[in-house]
Structure 1
Amino acid sequence: MDLVLIRHPEVAIDAGVCYGQTDVPLKRDVHELARELIARMQALNVPACVDGWHTSPLQRCALLAKALATDAHIDARLSEMHFGAWEDRAWDTIDRASIDEWAADVTHARPHGGESFAQFSRRVIEWFDETCAKRDEAVHVVAHAGVVRVLAAHLLGVERETALQWPLDFGAIAGFRRVRDEWLLVRWNA
């Protein structure tokens, strides 16, 4: 079984803004982005999508999934982490002490009043367990960087906090393959 994870394309929001679950638009035309992604996936020999794309309900993911296939499976558990009071704020306007509190315990702290990283990870892994655990056919997902990193850490058995540091470009493809109940990384940031 293959799990194909696509980070959503670049968004039309100023750099340096915290936008976790803020529903921001894509920067470019979604149909053009879909054509480019399909061509890249074909060049990389990514397994074909047979069961529709799974996606976050946020437009930066859902619009692309719907442009790729009419049968998109929308699931709120694939939404990015919710940053509470920090949503839609420039990072440099957020109280430094609050950011330091969060950085001191990324897993459990939630000074913003939104989700902790542990809560976020639980819901993403719940989606994975329900959707992917017993499937043989490939699963394709358009999601957020946080979702992709949480799933990568889970599948590869590495610390989630470590995976948070892995670079992941807008529109990047991450691919995993299950071989005899072990997950292998096929591609990252492709």
Structure 2
Amino acid sequence: MILYVWRHPRPIAAEGICIGQMDISVDKRKLKRLANKIERFVRLHPLPKIIWISPLQRSLKVGQILAQRGFECRVAPELAEINFGEWDGRPWTQITKQEIDEWCHNFAHFAPNHGESLQQLFERVGGWLVKVSAEQEDSPVLVIGHAGWINAAKMIATDQEVPKTAAEWPRSVAYLSCNRIDVSLKKRPLC
């Protein structure tokens, strides 16, 4: 299965803030810019006008613009960014050094209060990939996603384990970028 995954536009006033599933605004022009980019891509590479989107507004609002242009938008909670729980929406400077150290020492399994661990994110992403590949094995899949989700999908697609240290986690993909991910489910189970 081939995924074409675009990262949502840069949120407004997000600098220095821990953002996971916090619903944060995006400039309307940037939403339209991404919608235009996706629409042009679909036209250039005759692809079905079906796109999967996260329920978070930085993805959802791009999907709503595309829906007005004839796209079928499928909202999937599994596409949401990692849940940082009580950290979500807080400045990184207000998260204690002890909490950050705990996260770094147990990178795969640590979860902030009421949040999810990286292991749980990988299980959620892997489960969605299995489900969608069973439904659309031969057709490319279009997605508007989030940096953590995209990195997890890339690592799963290349048969990598959940990172055990923060140093093993890749850099975030650029806002508005299109990422092609080739997923072969014949390698090993994703979850």
TM-score band w.r.t. shorter chain: 0.7 to 0.9
Q: Take 1:16 and 1:48, find their aligned partners in 2: how far apart are those partners?
A: 40
TM-score, normalised via structure 1 length: 0.83
Q: CA deviation at 1:119?
A: 1.0
Matched, 1:120 2:121: yes
**2:173 corresponding residue in structure 1:** 168
RMSD: 2.4
Distance 1:152 1:171, change over 3 A: same
Q: Take 1:95 and 1:181, find their aligned partners in 2: how far apart are those partners?
A: 42
**1:57 corresponding residue in structure 2:** 55
8 Å contact 2:52–2:143 — kept in the other structure?
yes
Matched, 1:5 2:5: yes
Number of aligned residue pairs: 179
8 Å contact 2:81–2:149 — kept in the other structure?
yes
Where do 1:127-142 residues align within 5 Å? 127-133=128-134, 135-142=137-144
**1:35 corresponding residue in structure 2:** 36
Q: Percent identity?
A: 27
Segments of 5+ residues of structure 1 without an aligned counterpart are 183-190
8 Å contact 2:157–2:182 — kept in the other structure?
no
Distance 1:37 1:137, change over 3 A: closer
**1:187 corresponding residue in structure 2:** none
- SS in structure 2 opposite 1:53? strand
Where do 1:71-90 residues align within 5 Å? 71-90=72-91
Q: Take 2:124 and 2:48, find their aligned partners in 1: how far apart are those partners?
A: 25
Distance 1:8 1:98, change over 3 A: same
Distance 1:163 1:136, change over 3 A: farther
Higher strand share: 1
- SS in structure 2 opposite 1:73? strand
Segments of 5+ residues of structure 2 without an aligned counterpart are none
8 Å contact 1:2–1:177 — kept in the other structure?
yes
Distance 1:66 1:144, change over 3 A: same
Q: CA deviation at 1:42?
A: 6.6
8 Å contact 1:101–1:111 — kept in the other structure?
no
